[in-house]
Structure 1
Amino acid sequence: MNDAAVTEGLTFTESEPGAFLRPYVTHLSAYTERYADPMPRRQPPFAGVVMIFGFGAPLTLDGPEGAQRLASFAGGLHDTYVDTTTTGISEGVQVNLTPLGARRLLGMPLRELANRVVPLEEVLGGWATATVARLAEAPDGAVRIALLDEALSTRIGDAPLPDRRVGWAWQRLVATRGTMSVASIAAELGWSHRHLVSRFHDQIGLAPKAAARVLRFEHASGRLRSGMSPADTAAVCGYYDQAHMNREFRAMAGVTPRGLASPPRTIG
């Protein structure tokens, strides 16, 4: 089922991924943005990998590696924010993948994408170019989503499965919202800390401790937006105290917990 909406120059259509993609894709939407003036946004980190299949004006993205202008791009798991600016008419389809979904789709160590935004063709080659061209020719957002769902399902289905043990470790972190200790995960797997970090760098992108910080931040952001006080949020989300949470928010979002605006699930 598709839901269409228009908000302040943004027209978008979103749909739940098909059954095959659901373990790998958490968000799938087609969009068109038209603004008379440049539209800046700050994109805090989230626990996934974003891909933009864009065929409109390029976005300006300013992250840990500096500023660049891209229409189609992939952003790996980040533990800090990216600033974006939309100008002109920006159009495309956005996909948010789980880290393991991105690992299977890309077939490359995700450490190479951690805290980076790169041209989509750099990680998906000619397949990305051909897919963007097909999407640009489609008549509307619903058709574009259906086309990309099919293309992603075929490509992921043809790729090897990710490491199931890393999958288990990632799901334990997700289930505990980043509060399970890395030592406990390593012990349950029978791995050394060093080996666990190595496998996370390959399959997730960030080390387990950094990935847990992102999950904790995401949980705390949701609690704050639901109306919970910063002090209670810090206690519920596993921070040492409110000062600790404040430091984490400044590092990861560039603002205090009270100052964090509702973050869109997009990097563009």
Structure 2
Amino acid sequence: MAGFRARDMAAVGHRMVPHPAVTLALEFGAGQPIVNDASGRQQRGSLVAGLGIGFGGAVWVRGENVECVQVRLSPVVARAVLDVSPSDLDGSMVALDDLWGSEASRIREQLAAVSSWKDRFALTDALLLRRRESRSSSVDPEVAWAWHRIVAGRGLVRVDRLAAEVGWSRKRLWSRFRSQIGLQPKRAAKLVRFDHAAHRLAVGESPSRVAAESGYTDQSHLHRDVVAFTGVTPATVADEPWLAVDDIAWTSHPTPTRPLGS
């Protein structure tokens, strides 16, 4: 999880870079984040966003005096925690009030009442753990295993080999994976591969090296993939604020917070 504080990103906003996780945003500041997608849909306040949201650079976040805790959840546990299947989200977003009702308001008040990010993270962690423990997983063990293999292999896996390893037909794995994770296995692998490549670009590695070591046929292949996922070139995506935050927020760094637009 990560903490975000943005005084003013109303004019410029921030592009959401697709990520292989279901995103939960819990806002508690004086202002509300406003999220817009390419279809013209808009969400304000706390929300849940589907796996890989932001494809094509179509989703932007704006707002003033925004404070929120953002959590990235594996699609394997997302339904048990959030009360919505990743496949139902289908790369879109839904207001948390619509999913959790009054509980969404309570967590907002609790987050606003404490003064440190450490305490906010602890509150969020306890909330998610409580919800997870009170619900059973709806993901087949074979599907969960396949997802973890894709992530561990940084997207460089073959779907037919995964099916053989779990003892299923390719068609069965394809169908179960799509219905429970929210993406087809091949699409999930492409998203994971892109995510790995984008973060290597963000720390300053050259596109040629990233392409050669991330499973792309050449630099042009990497370029096409990055543009398809983000709407911008590899050189531009390397400077995206969401990726800059990841180096701090999604690792074991002792201070997992970073302001955006402060």
TM-score range, shorter chain: 0.7 to 0.9
Deviation at 1:144? 2.0
Contact 1:220/1:237 (<8 A) preserved: yes
SS in structure 1 of the partner of residue 101 of structure 2: helix
| Equivalence for 2:232 | 255
Q: Percent of counterpart pairs with the same letter?
A: 35
What residue in structure 1 maps to residue 119 of structure 2? 143
**Aligned positions of 1:6-17 closer than 5 A:** none
Provide TM-score, normalisation by structure 1: 0.81
Q: Tell me whether 193-202 or 203-212 shows the greater mean CA deviation.
A: 193-202
CA root-mean-square deviation: 2.2
2:49 equivalent in structure 1: 75
Q: State the aligned residue count.
A: 240
Q: Specify the alignment match of 1:123 in structure 2.
A: 99
| Cα distance in 2 between the residues matched to 1:208 and 1:143 | 37
Cα gap change, 1:30 to 1:256, in 2 (>3 Å): closer
Counterparts of 1:106 and 1:202, CA distance in 2: 16
| Partner Cα separation in structure 2 for residue 198 and residue 124 of structure 1 | 29
Cα distance between partner residues in 2 of 1:66 and 1:36: 19
Q: 1:64 to 1:195 in 2, by over 3 A?
A: farther
Distance (whole Å) between structure 2 residues aligned to residue 258 and residue 225 of structure 1: 9
Tell me which protein shows more strand as a share of its residues.
1
Q: Decide which structure has greater helix share.
A: 2
Query: Aligned partner of 2:136: which letter?
Result: P
CA deviations on 1:34-74 (whole Å, 9 max, x unpaired) are 12853411121111111111133222322254341411111
Q: Give the equivalent residue in structure 2 for 1:239.
A: 216
SS in 1 for 2:72: strand
SS at match of 1:135: helix
The SS at the match of 2:188 is: helix
Structure-2 separation of matches of 1:229 and 1:205: 32
Alignment partner, residue 181 of structure 2: 204
SS of corresponding position for 1:93: strand
Matched, 1:229 2:206: yes
Q: Is the 8 A contact 2:16 2:59 kept in 1?
A: yes
Residue of 162, 165, 176 corresponding to 2:142? 165
User: Contact conserved, 1:44 with 1:253, CA < 8 A, in 2?
Assistant: yes
Q: Which amino acid aligns with 1:125?
A: G
Aligned to 1:53: 26
Report the counterpart of residue 102 of structure 1 in structure 2: 78
1:34 aligns with 2:7: yes
Which contiguous aligned blocks of 4+ residues in structure 1 show a shift greater than 4 angstroms?
none
SS at match of 2:109: helix
- State the structure with bigger RCO (CA 8 A, min sep 6), 1 or 2: 2
Task: Name structure 1 gaps, 5 residues minimum.
Answer: 1-27
| Residue from 128, 132, 153 that aligns with 2:129 | 153
Q: Is the 8 A contact 2:22 2:86 kept in 1?
A: no
2:33–2:64 Cα contact (<8 Å) kept: no
Q: Which moved more, 1:53-62 or 1:210-219?
A: 53-62
